[in-house]
Amino acid sequence: MYHQRVDDVTAFVLAGGKSARMGQDKAFLQLGESTLLERALELVRPITEDVRILGDPAKFTMYGTAVKDIYADRGPLGGIHAALTQTSTDFNLIIAVDTPFVEKRFLDFLISEARSSDAVVTMPWTRGYLHPLCAIYRREFAAVSEKALIRGQNKIDTLFAGVQTRVIEEQEMVHLGFDLDMFRNVNTPKEWADAQAQFKHNGKADELYLESKRTQ
Residue 192 within any structural domain of the chain: no
Residue 209 within any structural domain of the chain: no
**Per-residue model confidence as pLDDT tens for the chain (216 residues):** 445 566 799 999 999 766 666 667 888 989 888 999 999 999 999 999 999 999 999 999 999 999 999 999 999 999 999 999 999 999 999 999 999 999 999 999 999 999 999 999 999 999 999 999 999 999 999 999 999 999 999 999 999 999 999 999 999 999 999 999 999 888 788 887 888 888 887 764 343 322 333 444
Amino acid 5: pLDDT: 62
CA distance 171 to 193: 29
CA distance 187 to 183: 13
Residue 196 within any structural domain of the chain: no
Q: Could you tell me the residue range of the domain that residue 46 belongs to?
A: 9-185
CA distance 90 to 154: 23
Residue 85: CATH number of its domain: 3.90.550.10
Give, in order, the Cα–Cα distances in Å from 195 to each of 58, 89, 185: 28, 33, 8
Residue 60 within any structural domain of the chain: yes
Amino acid 19: pLDDT: 62
User: pTM for the complete prediction?
Assistant: 0.89
Residue 194 within any structural domain of the chain: no
126-130 long-range Cβ contacts below 8 angstroms, 24+ apart: 126/170, 126/173, 126/180, 126/183, 127/170, 127/180, 130/157, 130/160, 130/167
Number of domains in the chain: 1
CA distance 93 to 194: 26
Amino acid 210: pLDDT: 28
CB 76 within 8 A of CB 85: no
CB 52 within 8 A of CB 83: yes
